[in-house]
Amino acid sequence: MATPHNEASKGDFAKTVLMPGDPLRAKYLAKNYLDNVRQVNGVRGMLAYTGTYKGKEVSIMGSGMGMPSIGIYSYELYTQYDVENIIRIGSAGSINKDVHIRDVIIAQGACTDSAWAHQYELPGTFSAISSYDLLEKAVCEAKKKQIHYHVGNIVSSDLFYHADVEASGRWSNVGCLAVEMESYALFANAAYLGKKALTLLTISDSLVNDEKETTAQERERTFTDMMEVALEIA
C-alpha cells in the first residue's frame, strides 16, 4: 500500500510521528537519536524514518513548508497508516519581546490567515488547538529538563514574505507568541479525524528583537531541546 506521496507500507509507521518541516532535520534526528532506524519514505525527498528511542517505536518524517504540504502528509499518516499522534517540531519567528532566539514554544493553539477551515463549512470560526494530553506531557518534560519554554498561542501563516509588514504586530497584540506556517492545518486535520497533534517550536529568528538569527544548518541540527522533549513524550 502506498499513497501518491508516501511509498511506505502499512505498518511502517509508529503510532507517533515527529514532523519537522525540513526533511533534513528529520534525517538528522533519526540518525542521531533512533536505534534500529530504517528509511520508510523518500518520495519527493520527504524523508521518513522509523526506529526506536529508549526501546519505544517512533517515526520521524518531514512535512515540507506550509499548510498544503503538512495537510497532505498528516492526512495520509492519520488515515492510511493508522498514526495516532503527530508532534510538529518546527522553527518559528518570535513576535513577542519576551520570546527569544532558541526559546521553545509549546503551542496551545494556532490562529491563521489561511482558508483551511472553510472546507468544513462551519457557521463561524474554527479554533485549532493542540491535544491537551500531549501538551501536558510536553510541559512536564520541559520542566524536568529545565529548558526555557513558553506555552501559548501561535500564528500559522500562508505567507513567509508578507506585503503587510505590520500583520505580525496585530497578531502579537492578541497574544500570539510566534509565527510559523503549518500548525493550524495539522491541528484541524487531527480534530476532524479524531486524532492527536501537538506543536513544539524553537525560535529561529525574531521579528521584534534585534537578535542574531540562526543559520539553516543550526535549524537543521541544533534545536535539540525541542527534539528531545518530543522524543521523550512520543
Ligand X SMILES: O=P(O)(O)O[C@H]1O[C@H](CO)[C@@H](O)[C@H]1O
Ligand Y SMILES: O=c1cc[nH]c(=O)[nH]1
Catalytic residue among 22, 113, 164, 205: 205
Query: Minimum CB separation from ligand X for residue 175, in Å?
Result: 19
Does 129 bind ligand Y (CB under 6 A)? Our answer is no
> CB under 5 to 8 A by kind: which of ligand X, ligand Y, none does 93 bind?
ligand Y
Residue in the block written with cell 493550524: 184
> CB under 5 to 8 A by kind: which of ligand Y, ligand X, none does 179 bind?
ligand Y
Q: CA separation (Å) from 216 to 32, 112, 222? A: 18, 25, 10
Query: Minimum CB separation from ligand Y for residue 179, in Å?
Result: 5
Distance between CA 85 and CA 78 in Å, rounded? 8
Q: How many CB atoms lie within 10 A of CB 164?
A: 10
Nearer to ligand X, 71 or 90 (CB): 90
Does 181 bind ligand X (CB under 6 A)? Our answer is yes
The x, y and z cell numbers of residue 160, run together, are 513567509
Nearer to ligand X, 12 or 182 (CB): 182
Does 113 bind ligand Y (CB under 6 A)? Our answer is no
Output the CA torsion sign for 184, 63, 169, 109.
positive
Among 7, 84, 158, 205, binds ligand Y (CB under 6 A): 205
Distance between CA 234 and CA 231 in Å, rounded? 5
Residue in the block written with cell 499548510: 67
Q: CA separation (Å) from 220 to 7, 142, 234? A: 24, 20, 20
Does 89 bind ligand Y (CB under 6 A)? Our answer is no
37 to 66: interface string for ligand X, x by CB under 6 A: ----------------------------x-
Does residue 75 sit in helix, strand or coil? Answer: helix
Helix, strand, coil percent content, the chain, rounded in steps of 5: 35, 30, 35
End-to-end CA distance of the chain: 25
Asked if residue 95 lies in contact with residue 172, where contact means CB atoms within 8 angstroms, the answer is yes
**Is 141 marked as a binding-site residue?**
no
Among 204, 223, 230, 234, binds ligand Y (CB under 6 A): 204
The x, y and z cell numbers of residue 12, run together, are 511502517
Does 93 bind ligand Y (CB under 6 A)? Our answer is yes
Nearer to ligand Y, 181 or 233 (CB): 181
Catalytic residue at 133?
no
Return the residues of window 142-181 that contact ligand Y according to CB under 6 A.
160, 179-181
Count of CA atoms in the C-beta half-sphere (13 A) of 87: 29
Residues comprising the binding site for phosphate? 21, 25, 44, 88-91
Q: List the catalytic residues.
A: 205
Which residues of the chain form contacts with ligand X (CB under 6 A)?
A: 20-22, 65, 90-91, 160, 180-182, 219
Which residues of the chain form contacts with ligand Y (CB under 6 A)?
A: 91-93, 160, 179-181, 204-205, 207
